[in-house]
Structures are given as structure tokens and as C-alpha cells.
Amino acid sequence: MATLNIVKIGDSILRKKCRPVPVITPRIITLLDDMRETLHDADGCGLAAPQVGILRRICIVETEPGEVWEMINPEIISSEGEQNEVEGCLSVPGRYGVTRRPQTVTVRATDRNGNEYTVTGSGLKARAFCHEIDHLDGKIFIDNAVRMLTEKEIEEMYG
């Protein structure tokens, strides 16, 4: 496994729509492994393939230690409720904003073994699913932000 370079805001790849993964190859498995290592190294809770320079519909989410959701060709199939919470992004370091997201979402995706599954998440997990799937469509959380936090607010929250 390898730690990959995380693309930062300003790089045009973050604004491009990703292509579906037609076949799960050994390269896709290696990418998933490398993305997991990169996510852990960066201390994040989600990472999408375009954030490491790959325009494929792949993302991973880990909001609870050890509970990693590897999602190939994910799509949100239902959502309900609303939450307005603070989000940040590994590709937008040092900036945080309040976003409006569904309280609960259900995602259909394929795992590394080619098995289709659905998963439902609420709260942080729902936000992370939406955030990472947005990346696959060339969207960044600041596009959805109701408002960005000031430096003083960030300092108060994160010290």
C-alpha cells in the first residue's frame, strides 16, 4: 500500500465528473487499499478518487474506526430529513463551512468483490456519503455551504 498525494482546491480535476468503473481490476483493488492508507494518514473520514487524481466513481468513508465503506459506482437512492452541520475537506485544508445535507441517506454501491449492497447512514455518516459522492460529480463542499466559518470560529472550534 502507498500513501497518495491529495489534490487541493484549485486543481481542475476536482471539478470533473468521474467515469463509472465497468470492471473491478487488480488496479482498482490497489487504488482502494492506497486510498484507505491515505485517508488514515490524513486523519479524515472520507476520500474520493478524484481527490487523489483518479477520475473514477470510487470513494471510501470511515466515520467510525474500523467501519470502512468502500463504494464503487455509488449512488444515493433515498434521503430524508435535513441537517445543517460543519464540514471540512482534505482537499480544502483549513476551511470549514456549514452545509445543508439530508439527515439520513441510503446509498447503493458495489464493493471490491463485485457485490452490490445498500447502506443507510444518518448524521455524520450521511454527510460523509453525500460529501464524497459530490466529489465524484465535480462538486466541493463549499458549493453547498450555507456559510463559511470565520477564522475566529475555526479557532474556537478546533483550537
Q: Which of 82, 85, 132, 156 is catalytic?
A: 132
**Residue 85 annotated among the catalytic residues of the structure:** no
What percent helix, strand, coil does the chain show, rounded to 5? 30, 35, 35
Rounded Cα distance, 14 and 147, in Å = 21
Cα–Cα distance list, 24 to 31, 59, 140 (Å): 11, 14, 26
Rounded Cα distance, 104 and 116, in Å = 20
- Return the active site residues: 132
